Each structure stands twice: as C-alpha cells, then as structure tokens.
Amino acid sequence: MRIATWNVNSITARLPRLLAWLESSGTDVLCLQEAKTTAEQFPTDELTKLGYESAVHATGRWNGVAVISRAGLEDVVRGLPSDPGYDGVQEPRAIAATCGPIRVWSVYVPNGREVDHPHFAYKLQWIEALKAAVAGDASGSRPFAVLGDYNIAPTDDDVHDIAAFEGSTHVTPAERAALTELRESGLTDVIPRPLKYDHPYTYWDYRQLCFPKNRGMRIDLVYGNEPFTKAVKDSYVDREERKGKGASDHAPVVVDLDV
C-alpha cells in the first residue's frame, strides 16, 4: 500500500499535475494540504474518474486539507475536537479518515509567522490539541499515522543552513519540544531516505533559486505508531515533482507499507 502527503499550495493551480502524479505514482492514499478552495469547489469529480474518494475540510482561499483514497474512506473526522482557533475562527487544518487497514490524519500545522506573534502561540496550542486528538489511535493496534505539513524542522539537519534561521520560527526549541511531546504519545518520525541529495528536504521557497541550490527544509512529516512503522518498506521524497513550471513549493513524501 502506498500512501503520501503533499502540500499542493492550491489544488486549483496544481490540479493537472496532481491528477498526472496520482496516475503515475500509484498512490493509494494521499493526505493533501493547502487546498485553498471550498469543499464545494474541490475537484471531487475529476478524482472520482481516477477511482479516488475524497474527504475534504476546506472553507476558502486559505488552508484546507483532504484525504484522497482508492483504498476506502470511512469514519471521517473534520477538525480537532479541542481546536483552539485563531482570532475567533477554527481554521480547516486537520482531517482524519480510515482507508482500508490504516487510519490517517492529514494536518496543516499553523505557520506561526514570527516568534512574538500571536500566531506562534496559536501554533503551539494547536499542536497540543492535535496531540490530544490522536492519542487514542497512536497507542492502538491499527496502523496509524499523522501526515502533513508541520511547519517545523525537527532538527538542525532538516534545514539547509541553521544560521539562516536564527530568531525565526520553524526551528525554535518551543516548536521542537511540541513535536517531541507529540511523538511521545506513541509516534515515530518516518524519515524518508535521501536519493540524489544528502538530506530529504520537502520544501523549497520559490525565491532566490532555493530549489536549484537545494536550500530547503524538511517540514512535511510522517509520524506513525508502532504498527505503522513496522509495516514501512520504503519511503522517499518525490523531488521530481518539485521541478518544472507550475510546481508546488513542496514535494510529495511517499511511504510504502506492507499491510
């Protein structure tokens, strides 16, 4: 079984590439982030023609998550039960579904903006709410994973130059401590193997030739429980999908399971 996570940075802008990638990659379950559309405008019909069901949590031009599956789609949960919300709004950042033998959450963790910004405090609160939401499945006997854009690089090796991030979000001790607490609920970081390059980065800014220079970050993560990680046979970043015209600034992270 092949599952993946991909921040597409607008499913409308990326739809032709997404459909082609689903066909060529043989992906069974895709956790998608930054749909940047409404549930009504989500391309459900196009995906159905390829044999995929869609569960969507999206409300407009920002955020938006989905689970796309050709392995079944049941027990859908939209949003975190204890979502703290930001500025009075609960944003569409999390969705869960059971896809055949596995259960997944697709998550888009808040960016945080700046360390002294209210959005940063919201980010930490949101991860705490995520931890509470996944605790039961994380400790269960069914293969389970939380996949998505975490907007945090777990270690200094997960950024191209840690000095360039001094004083910035994504690498702070508070954010990394929040990730550690999430993992302590019973999850392990499934680190994709590097292919051509030394580090399996998943995100490269559009600016300053970051992708050609491989000035990236590993912020798209797969956190699986013990039954999930024991079933992993391979994992990689599909770096080729970051190339060319009309690409997202993130690449898909792919995990192959024997379940």
Whole-number pLDDT of residue 1: 98
- The predicted-structure confidence for 192-202, as pLDDT tens digits, reads as follows 988 877 889 99
pLDDT tens per residue across span 54-112: 999 999 989 999 999 999 999 999 999 999 999 999 999 999 999 999 999 999 999 99
With 0-12 / 13-18 / 19 or more C-beta atoms within 10 angstroms meaning exposed / middle / buried, residue 32 is buried
pLDDT for the residue numbered 77? 98
115-119 long-range contacts, Cβ below 8 Å, gap at least 24? 115/167, 115/168, 115/169, 115/172, 118/86, 118/87, 119/86
C-alpha to C-alpha distance for 217 and 159, rounded to whole angstroms = 4
Domains of the chain: total:
1
pLDDT the model gives residue 196: 78
How confident is the model over 111-168, as pLDDT tens digits?
999 999 999 999 999 999 999 999 999 999 999 999 999 999 999 999 999 999 999 9
Q: Give the residue numbers spanning the domain of 230.
A: 2-257
The residues with which 188 forms a beta bridge, in sequence order, are 224
The number of angstroms, rounded, from the C-alpha of 159 to the middle of its chain's C-alpha atoms is 17
Question: pLDDT for 17-61, tens place per residue?
Answer: 999 999 999 999 999 999 999 999 999 999 999 999 999 999 998
Q: CATH number of the domain at 210, please.
A: 3.60.10.10
Q: Is residue 29 within 8 Å of residue 3, measured between CB atoms?
A: yes
Question: What percentage of the chain exceeds 90 in pLDDT?
Answer: 97
